[in-house]
Structure 1
Amino acid sequence: MAVTTNLLAVRAKVAEALAKSPWKQQCTLVAVSKTKPLEDLQEAYEADQRHFGENYIQELVQKSPQLPSDIKWHYIGHVQSNKAKVLVRDVPNLYMVETVDSIKIANALNKASSEFRTEKLNVMVQVNTSGEEQKSGTDVDGSVELACHIVASCEHLNLTGLMTIGRYGDTTSECFDRLVACRKNVAEAIGKAETDLAASMGMSGDFELAISCGSTHVRVGSTIFGARDYAKKD
């Protein structure tokens, strides 16, 4: 029952943060379940959680057929172009890839989607707003070029928004504000309203701050499922 209790507590905090947010947005809670056993995910599912996030392709490929088919899987790990086919082919209920950070990756996902999906694959452009070298993501300037490429040249992808990971331990809104500004530039470049594009930002330690900055998707793992055992990673 711990997962259910934690999940309900996180939902309450999300609702409270949304009530205070000047953006008046809606926000999807993505339960990040990497390295967690199937029974924990099933418990969250039975508490009406449907959006789950995974970081490792092989783990997602193994988990997805053993869990309900109406789960909406978000892939939030780094994508290698040579693994795009496996990800798209072997996870039929893949809902979104939030970590597209290059034209090469976009093209690989587009090709795989053309071969193995009947519907467009939802994607987000990952932006490195902290400037940390160890983090994936295009830079702020490159995000507009990448978004325009997806819209113009990837007919089997649906650009839904932008994603970022804030600087670890940062209590300021700098990275989140940077993503929101980036979203505005992308929206202008592709002819959409700013609020028609999602902003996926905020994790266990900072999702309330992210919501106050306009986040529409928060990715919460350890606060729901407990600390991770990385020895279980594939």
Structure 2
Amino acid sequence: MIRAMGDIPISLSATQVLSKIKQACDKRKEAFKNINVRLVAVSKTKPKSAIIEAYNCGLRYFGENYVNELSEKSHDPEVIEKCPDIKWHFIGRVQKKQINKLLATRNLSIWETVDSQVVADLANGSLERNFAGKKVSVMVQVNTSDEPNKAGIEPENVNNLVEHIISKCPHLELVGLMTIGSINHSLGEGLNPDFERLEKCKQEVCRKFDFDADKFELSMGMSSDFETAILMGSSNVRVGSTIFGQREYKK
């Protein structure tokens, strides 16, 4: 049995997170009551044994930040055998030369970090050339905190990118918006202005392009702030260290 936070096993950590998600859902305002919430267990840098244990606890969605790591895990024979219904989310940056490898991910569920027309076009072209008949669900990543070192399109340009994907990228299915909020806001109390900004982007997109607001997704919230994110309309929370423990990076 793998330990997550200190002496807490992954099974208990996952159960606690799922319980907090339910409690947050119960507290949401009426406008968000019909929005289902998905837990994505962020397994970057974690061994496949941890993924298999979390899967055996009932988790099905797993997130990875690095293309090579995602490719290795998704094609691992033991993961394929023991986690047949696993679904992968890509939540990191991708180099142009890695797009083909990313799109070849086994059981790729959602690519959450499409943030430019160039990336959308490259992905659409790759699917057309190399993956006949395949369509990939994507989210538009938005830089809601205006941090220059952070990926994501500016909020004022979201509609332009959405329109481009809808009209020019038939092999991409747009399912929502994603953000990584400022750490200062995530650790603060009360409403998170980054989440509020993304929810306003969603309202504009749904109004302009006639998306169903209950089904058009918002991916926001991580270990430190997923409960707040749910209260503010998130349908997809990305929780890593709270489930798996602190990450260990190679030196």
CA displacement, residues 20-76 of structure 1 (integer Å, 9 cap, x when unaligned): 011112100000000001100000011111100000000011111221342110000
Identity among equivalent positions (%) equals 44
Question: 2: CA distance between counterparts of 1:14 and 1:43?
Answer: 20
1:117 shift after superposition? 5.3
After the TM superposition, which of the residue ranges 157-166 and 182-191 deviates more from structure 2?
182-191
Q: Which one of the candidate residues 138, 148, 160 is aligned to 2:163?
A: 148
Q: What residue in structure 2 maps to residue 164 of structure 1?
A: 179
Partner secondary structure for residue 169 of structure 1: helix
1:92 shift after superposition? 2.5
Question: 1: CA distance between counterparts of 2:127 and 2:59?
Answer: 26
Q: What residue in structure 2 maps to residue 35 of structure 1?
A: 45
1:136 shift after superposition? 0.3
TM-score (norm 1): 0.95
* Aligned-partner residue type, residue 111 of structure 1: G
After the TM superposition, which of the residue ranges 185-194 and 72-81 deviates more from structure 2?
185-194
Q: What residue in structure 2 maps to residue 17 of structure 1?
A: 24
Question: 2: CA distance between counterparts of 1:117 and 1:44?
Answer: 33
CA displacement, residues 117-171 of structure 1 (integer Å, 9 cap, x when unaligned): 5331000000000011111000001111001110111100100000001110312
Asked if 1:56 is matched to 2:62, the reply is no
Q: What residue in structure 2 maps to residue 135 of structure 1?
A: 150
CA contact (8 A) 1:180 1:214 kept: yes
Question: 1: CA distance between counterparts of 2:112 and 2:211?
Answer: 19
- Unmatched 5+ residue regions in structure 1? none
Question: 2: CA distance between counterparts of 1:143 and 1:223?
Answer: 31
Q: Which one of the candidate residues 96, 109, 124 is aligned to 1:110?
A: 124
* Aligned-partner residue type, residue 14 of structure 1: I
1:190 shift after superposition? 1.7
1:189 shift after superposition? 2.4
CA RMSD of aligned residues (A): 1.3
1:108 shift after superposition? 1.3
Q: What residue in structure 2 maps to residue 175 of structure 1?
A: 194
CA contact (8 A) 1:162 1:183 kept: yes
1:196 shift after superposition? 2.7
Q: Which runs of 4+ in 1 moved over 4 A?
A: none
- Unmatched 5+ residue regions in structure 2? 2-8
Map 1:57-96 to 2 at 5 A: 57-66=67-76, 67=79, 68-89=83-104, 91-96=105-110
